[in-house]
Amino acid sequence: MFIFKKHISRRTVLKGAGATVALPFLEAMVPAATAQAQTAANPKLRAGFFYIPHGAVQHDTKFGPEGDKWTPSGSGASFKLNRITAPLEPFKKYVSTIGNLDNPAGAGVHVRNAGTWLCCSNPATTIDQFIAKKISQDTALPSLEVSSETLRQQAAGNGALTASTVSFRDANTPLPPEYNPKKVFNTLFGSTTFKEKVLNARESDSLLDLILEQTKALQNQLGAGDRVALDNYLESVREIERRISIVASTDISNMTIPERPVGVLDDFDKQVDLLFDLITVAYQADITRVVSYVMVAEGTNQTYNHIGVPASFHPISHHANEPDKIEQVVKIQTWHMDRFAAFLKKMAETRDGDGSLLDHSIFLYGSNMGNSDKHSNWPIPTVVVGGGAGRMKLGGQHIEPKQRLPLANVHLTLLNKFGIEQDKFADSTGMISEL
């Protein structure tokens, strides 16, 4: 048998003038006539943890089940999403929501909620870091931690350890998320100008321009499908560069600006989406396989004028069962779910081996609070999304245990899905078999 096909190393990068850009998975990276070639390069699992504060509007307001805007019902063909979860409709077959969960470790207070979401105890190694040690040790970044805004919020202790991050390497090592998109971009792709200021930003600083010649050479070696995949990936990088450059090219000639990070977008909606785009590229290029994203800070005073809610999120979350305030909270929570769904769309459209990135991922989306007005730690809104490379049960379902279960049961189940087999995690009482 004669084999003429030459494969490209999985670690191939594009380099030029000090710039380095990782590549997405391409079929040309699979050696011919190998078992790996027959299994679509043995797709790698990705993990993502997406945190929102202030719980969700569920059945525990004074309006009871009729006022529940979060909880879906049914399963399979009869699986019906609710108003806040409705943006997940296009990906319903990947979605499992779990009700009747609590987490006493959070105690329903801002200074404890974020830091106990992924460990269900006093600060300790969080599940994302257990998973990173298992699946992400051969990537450039074992894990990536980002947030949409600073986590130094007065209501959440101005950056207290348990309020400033959801991710801990161990009890004494929090992994604070980065909210400056330019810094996140530099972390993913490197930069020779970390202290670059707005006035020094130039069009020639584009990573893609610096690797143009090598990109053309590589494209000549690829098949049609790989060329499309590479073009789509590089276009994603180009779009992120374009949006960052808009901020970087701001005219500050008449301003007095101290030394500070540059790159945080003034428009919160664009900031949230840009960080999702960076996460997508990080997964696509296999720079990391584990991400945590605090979509808005615990105790935040962020306003949502772009959806007609001028009030700050934290104060309005104390709705006192007033219908108009509850409606504003529902709008905010629905918007966050919509942006998560937009991210899922990109993951579903991004080819990865024999499927998509969504097929080969497991994402946890939720909060560590139940009723924001009561500051309760039950019921904790929780969604698990993704195919898990065949390890998740598909079809769409709402799981409603007959009795309260620890949130740690979800974590224990996910750890086992990632091949970290253990019988106990924090205060867990068992795994959730429906997942």
User: pLDDT category, 313, cuts 50, 70, 90?
Assistant: very high
The first and second tokens of residue 120, run together, are: 């269900």
How many Å separate Cα 136 from the centre of its chain? Answer: 16
The first and second tokens of residue 423, run together, are: 């019988």
Question: What is the average pLDDT value for the chain, to the nearest integer?
Answer: 84
For residue 357, pLDDT over 80 is answered with yes
Q: What is the pLDDT of residue 28?
A: 67
Q: Given 3.40.50, 3.40.720, 1.20.1270, 1.10.10, which CATH number is that of 47-176+290-435?
A: 3.40.720
Q: What single DSSP character describes residue 19?
A: E
The first and second tokens of residue 195, run together, are: 């202290």
Q: Give dist(CA 179, CA 101) in Å, integer.
A: 29
Q: Give dist(CA 4, CA 97) in Å, integer.
A: 49
Residue 94: how many CB atoms within 10 A of its CB?
24
Radius of gyration (C-alpha) of the chain in whole angstroms: 22
Q: What is the pLDDT of residues 317-349, one digit of tens each?
A: 999 999 999 999 999 999 999 999 999 999 999
Q: Give dist(CA 146, CA 264) in Å, integer.
A: 12
Q: What is the pLDDT of residues 96-112, one digit of tens each?
A: 999 999 999 987 788 88
- For residue 33, the SS3 value is coil
Residue range(s) of every CATH 3.40.720 domain in the chain: 47-176+290-435
Q: What is the pLDDT of residue 271?
A: 92
The first and second tokens of residue 353, run together, are: 């081996």
Q: Give dist(CA 165, CA 178) in Å, integer.
A: 10
> What phi and psi, each to the nearest 5 degrees, are found at residue 196?
-55, 135
Q: What single DSSP character describes residue 319?
A: -
Q: Give dist(CA 5, CA 8) in Å, integer.
A: 10
Q: What is the pLDDT of residue 198?
A: 39
The first and second tokens of residue 66, run together, are: 């009729």
The first and second tokens of residue 135, run together, are: 């699946």
Pairing of strands 290-294, 144-147: parallel
Q: What is the pLDDT of residue 82?
A: 98
For residue 20, pLDDT over 70 is answered with no
Which residues neighbour 37 within 8 Å (Cβ) at sequence distance 6 or greater?
Answer: 30, 31
Q: What is the pLDDT of residue 324?
A: 96
Q: What is the pLDDT of residue 243?
A: 57
For residue 41, pLDDT over 70 is answered with no
**Residue scoring higher pLDDT (413 or 153):** 413
For residue 255, pLDDT over 90 is answered with no
User: pLDDT category, 22, cuts 50, 70, 90?
Assistant: low
Pairing of strands 397-399, 101-102: unpaired
Q: What is the pLDDT of residues 187-224, one digit of tens each?
A: 877 654 333 433 444 444 566 666 677 777 787 888 88
